[in-house]
Structure 1
C-alpha cells in the first residue's frame, strides 16, 4: 500500500485522508477476524464423535455434543497434543506391579491417576482385583465422584481439574472406554478396575477439552455440574458456552444440546469469541487456584496476597512455556511426581534476573554475603511470608477430608499471614543444595499393618464406617478429628478391628489397624492397651509442598533490613516454630524450632547464637569505639600542645 500511495498525484493530502479517515473506518466496519490476527482459528464446522458435521442453522446433528478430537483434530494433531502430562498424568505408565517391591505396592502410577499425595487419599483400583473389597476408586469413579456443594459453590472432584484425554478417555489397555463397553457390556460386572459397575457406554468419555485452556469463557461450575450428572461427553459443549445441555445420564436420560446460534455463521460454521492462542493466567487458575491455595497458600491476582511478577504483567506461560505436545516447562517442586524429565526446564529466578529477561531487574545483592547465595534459594528470602492461609494438616481419621488451616486459622484461604517452614532441597537447578521454603502439610490417617510389614492406608469408607459406629462413645472434641486423647484412639482402633473383621473384609489377611499422627504410630497391644513408636513409614516420607509464588518486592525480602532479618533472637529462619502435631497431649500444638526442623548441626546453631549476640551488641560497640577514638584523638592533641 505504501508504494501505491507514493505513486499517487497529490499524494500528500490524499494520503492523509486515507490514513486518518478511510483505514480507521474500515477497521470499524470489518470484523476483527477478517484480519486474521486476533483469532487463533478461522470459523470452522463442529463435528460429532463420528466425524459428522454439526450445523445448528440447518438442524443437522444439532442436538449432539461436539467432539474435540474430530473437530479440532481436523487441523491439529490431537493425538500428539494429548500425550502431554496435563492429559496423561502418567496413565500411560500405569501398572498393577509398578510399585510391587516398595513400601507402597498398592499404587499403580504417580500423580492423581493412581498415585499418592497428601491432598487426596482415594486409591485407584488395580486393573485386576480378586474381590470388591479391594476397590476404592475405579477409573469410572475417578470421574463420577463429585463432592457435595457447599454454600452454593460446587467443589470439583478429581475430574473437575483434569483436561480430559488420558485416563478419562482410554483404559489401561489403551482402548476407548465407551466403545469397548458398548461392544462388551459384561465388563461392567467383572472385577476390572476400569469397568467395574461403570456406565461408559451411556456417559461417553471426556476427550481433551481444548477450550478449558483456549477459551476465555469457560465455565468451571458448569463442567462440575455436568460431571455430577454423568454427562461426560457433553461436558466440553456445555462448559465452553457453546450451548445448553438438557437431560441427565444419572437419571437415565439421554442429554440433548441446544446450541447458541449467535456463535454460528449463516453457513453453520462456528466462531468462538475470546478464543486465545496462548492460555492466559485465568485459564490456568480454573484448575490451579483452589488446589494451590490449599497446598501452598498461593494466589494470583489477589490484592490481599500480591506477587511482584503478576504486578509486572507476567502470566503463567511466560515462565512455563509449552511445546506442541502441550508439555509445559516445570520447576523443581518437591511434590512433583509427574513428568520428572521436565523438571527444571522452566526459567528460574536466576535465569531471568541474571540475563534481564523481559526487562527483569538484574540482581546485585549488594551488602549480601555471596556465600549466602549458594546456601539460600531465591524464594527463601523473597517469599518471607504469605497472606493467605494454606492447609497445615490433613486429617483423614473420621473418614472425610479434615483440612486444618496454617497459622492459628482453622480454614485455609483466610487472609491470615503466615511464614513458611524451611528445608534443604537436595538439589537445585544448578546442582547446589539450598534452603527453600515449604508448607509441610501433616498427615493423620489409619493404615493396616500387613504380615509383610507393609502399611496399607485404609479407605476413607472403611474409616468412616468405624467412626460412625463409635463416635457417640468418644469424648467431646472440637474439631471432630482431634483424637489426642488415648481413650479416643483406643476406641477407634478397637472399632476398626471389629468392623474390618466382622464384615469379612477380603482386603487383608490379618487386621491390625494403626493410627499415624504427630510423627508416631499408635496401635493396640495384645492386652488391648495403647502402644506407640516413632513413625518411619511412607507416611513420614510424604513430600512437602514447595513455595514459589507470591514473591515480595526486594525491599521486603529477608536481608533488606540487614543481617538481623535472619540472625536475631526473634528471626523466623533460625528460631521460628514449626508445628509437628496440631493436637498434642494437652490439646496444644507441638512445635520444634526451625533450626531443629532444618536439622542444622549444633555447631551451626551455636555460631548463629554468637552472631546474634554480636549484632545485638554492635550498636554499643560502635558507640564505644567512636568514644574511644574521639578520646584518643583528644588526648593526642593535648599532648601535642604540651
Structure 2
C-alpha cells in the first residue's frame, strides 16, 4: 500500500510539473501561434539529392536527453527525437498511420486485419477504415490495447496506438505502464543492416509499446514485459515490481554508439529499401517454394517499391490506382500513366525508363473491360485457385510463426472479379466465418472467447491436434452451441453461424437451415503485385489463354472455404465473380473454334466478291470501249 501511495504521489507531482511546463510554453508561444508557422528543419529540401547525415541526440517521451550511463533508462521516443526536425503531426495523418481517423478518406478496399481462432473456426475481416464487408474493432468490443496486442506486429505505430481519445478510463493506468505506440520511423527509414522489425513485433503481446521502436533498432536491447507488471508500476523508479519472478520492461543501449556529445548515428535512408516493405507486404503461395516464386518484374529491374508508391511530407502514399491519380504527378505513377501516356494524359509516359507496350492484335475492348493487373499481376490462375499466406494475416516474419500452408485465415488468390469501376482485376478473397447474434436483417459477430466454453470436448481435442487450422465441424456441434447460447440469453436473442457463404440458423430443436446473408459474402481486395514479365502475361499465347473451354480465367474452381463438414466440396467458377456464367463463357469459347474457319470463309467470300466485281468491271469497260468505237 505504501508503494501504491508513493506511485500516485509521484504521478501527481509529475502531472503538476508537466502542467506548469505546458502553461509556461503556452504563455511564451501564444504570440507565435497566431503567426504563420515556418516549416521544420528537416521538412524542406535545399535541392540537394544527398541524404543528410543523422547524427543526433536521443530523447525520451518526456523530452529529456538520453545518456547511456544513467540508471532507469527510458526508450527513445520518435515523437521527441525525430520530431525535433520533422512535423510529426503532419506525418501522423499519412496512409499507414491514419486508419482510425474519421477525417481521412478510407480509399479503395485493401487487405483487412483478420481475427482468427481455429478452435471456434473463426475468421473475421476487421478494418478501422470501415470498408464494406469488414467490421470495426469497436463493434466487436476489441479495445485499442487488445487490437495492438493482436495485430500490432505489422503496424508501424501511430493511429490508435497513441490516440488519447480512444483510451477507455478503465485502461488508463494500464496504458501508463505500456506507454503509447508512437510511429516507428525506423520501420521504413532505417538503412542499418541490424534493424530487426521482428523485435518490434515481439513487443506487442508483452504490451511493451513505448519500448517497441527501440527494440527494432540496431543499438538497443529490450527485455521484460509491461504486461506482467501491476497497474501501479512506475517506469521511472521501476517499483513496485511485486511479482518477483517477472522481469520489468527495460532498455539498454550500446554505449559505443554514443559519442562524447551523447549523439547517435542513424543510417536514415530516403529511398526506402524494398526489404523494409516486405515485412508487412509479403505473399506466399501455398505449395510453392521460395526459389520458385519470382520477385516483381520492377524489383528485378532495379526499382524500389517507393519509386511508384511515393509520398511527400504528409506520407499520403500513392497506391497506383486509377481512381487515386487525381494529381498530375500521381497520374504518372499508375500502370497506364507510366507505360502508355497519350495526348489526353497530363504527363508523358516513360518514367523510370518504362517501355511502351504495343498490345498488337488485342481488341481495344479488353482495355475497357479489364485492368492492367488482370493480365500482368499476381500468380497465374490454375484449375483450382490456390490458398495464399500474407504477412499481416499470418504474421510472416515473426518469431514462432506456424509455417504450414493450412494455417488460418484461408485466403484465395487470384480471383478475377470486378472492381468498383467495372473493370476485371485479380483479387485476394476471404470467406468470413464466425458465430453471431442476429438482430433482424443485421448481425453482430461474437468473439471466440464467448463461444469456446460451449464447444463439444471431442471437437476441441481434434482442433488441438491441428494447430492453426480448423477441423470438420459436424452439424451436431453447431446445434449444441446455438442451443446453449439461446438458452443462456435472457432476452431471447437469436444466434447463428456464418460459414461457407451462408448463415446457418437453428429453426427448431435439432434442425438447422442455411440461408443467404450479405455478411456471408466473401471479402475481396485487389491484387497489384507481383507484376510478371510481359512474356508471362495472360494472352501472350493467344486468345485461348482466356477464351477456351478449359481456361482458368473463366473456369477455375474457387473453393468456398468452410469448416462445415457438409460443405467441403462447394465451389464456384471464376466466371461467377465477373457477373457472367460458365455456360455463357463456354458458348463464347466455342465460337473461337470456328473463328479460323470463319476467317477463311471471309477471305474466300471477299475474293469471290472481288472477282465478281472485277468481271463486271471489265465487262463494263469492254462495253464502254465498244460504244466508243461504234460512235467513231
Partner of 1:64: 74
**Aligned to 1:219, which of 191, 196, 199?**
196
Q: Give 1:391 shift.
A: 5.2
2:492 equivalent to 1:492: no
Q: Give 1:77 shift.
A: 0.9
**Aligned to 2:300, which of 311, 324, 330?**
311
2:36 equivalent to 1:54: no
Partner of 1:24: none
Measure the CA separation in 1 of the matches of 2:322 and 2:454.
36
Superposition map of 1:313-328 within 5 A: 313-328=302-317
Q: 1:459 to 1:356 in 2, by over 3 A?
A: same
Q: Give 1:285 shift.
A: 1.7
SS in 1 for 2:52: coil
2:285 equivalent to 1:280: no
Q: Give 1:232 shift.
A: 1.7
Measure the CA separation in 2 of the matches of 1:524 and 1:369.
52
Q: Give 1:608 shift.
A: 1.1
Q: For residues 42-86 of structure 1, give each alpha carbon's deviation from its aligned partner in whole angstroms, at most 9, with x where no partner exists.
A: 311111211111122xx3577221111111111111111112131
Partner of 2:519: 538
Superposition map of 1:347-496 within 5 A: 347-354=333-340, 355-383=349-377, 385-386=379-380, 389-390=387-388, 410=406, 420-427=414-421, 433-450=422-439, 452-467=440-455, 469=457, 471=459, 481-483=470-472, 488-496=474-482
**Aligned to 2:87, which of 77, 88, 92?**
77
**Total equivalences in the alignment:** 499
Superposition map of 1:212-361 within 5 A: 212-216=187-191, 217-252=194-229, 253=241, 254-272=248-266, 274-289=267-282, 292-293=283-284, 304-332=293-321, 347-354=333-340, 355-361=349-355
Partner of 1:430: none
Measure the CA separation in 2 of the matches of 1:523 and 1:348.
46
Partner of 1:29: none
Q: 1:333 to 1:441 in 2, by over 3 A?
A: farther
Q: For residues 614-642 of structure 1, give each alpha carbon's deviation from its aligned partner in whole angstroms, at most 9, with x where no partner exists.
A: 158689x69x98xx99xx9xxxxxxxxxx
SS in 2 for 1:87: coil
Partner of 2:57: 45
Larger deviation, residues 366-375 vs 609-618? 609-618
Paired residues of 2:322 and 2:334 also in contact (CA < 8 A): no
Given the two structures, how large is their TM-score scaled by the length of structure 2?
A: 0.68
Measure the CA separation in 2 of the matches of 1:261 and 1:547.
45
Q: 1:426 to 1:234 in 2, by over 3 A?
A: closer
Partner of 2:162: 169
Given the two structures, how large is their TM-score scaled by the length of structure 1?
A: 0.67
Paired residues of 2:413 and 2:429 also in contact (CA < 8 A): no
Paired residues of 1:229 and 1:248 also in contact (CA < 8 A): yes
- What's the C-alpha RMSD, in Å, of the aligned pairs? 4.5
Q: Give 1:378 shift.
A: 1.2
Q: Give 1:345 shift.
A: 6.4
Q: For residues 600-619 of structure 1, give each alpha carbon's deviation from its aligned partner in whole angstroms, at most 9, with x where no partner exists.
A: 27995365134232158689
Stretches of structure 1 lacking an aligned partner (at least 5 in a row): 1-35, 95-109, 127-134, 146-156, 182-186, 189-194, 396-402, 428-432, 633-642
Stretches of structure 2 lacking an aligned partner (at least 5 in a row): 1-47, 105-124, 230-240, 242-247, 341-348, 394-400, 612-632
Q: For residues 123-160 of structure 1, give each alpha carbon's deviation from its aligned partner in whole angstroms, at most 9, with x where no partner exists.
A: 6336xxxxxxxx742112222x3xxxxxxxxxxx3111
Paired residues of 1:381 and 1:557 also in contact (CA < 8 A): yes
- Which of structures 1 and 2 has the larger relative contact order (alpha carbons within 8 angstroms, sep 6+)? 2
2:190 equivalent to 1:207: no
Superposition map of 1:176-195 within 5 A: 187-188=169-170, 195=171
2:613 equivalent to 1:613: no
Q: 1:302 to 1:325 in 2, by over 3 A?
A: farther
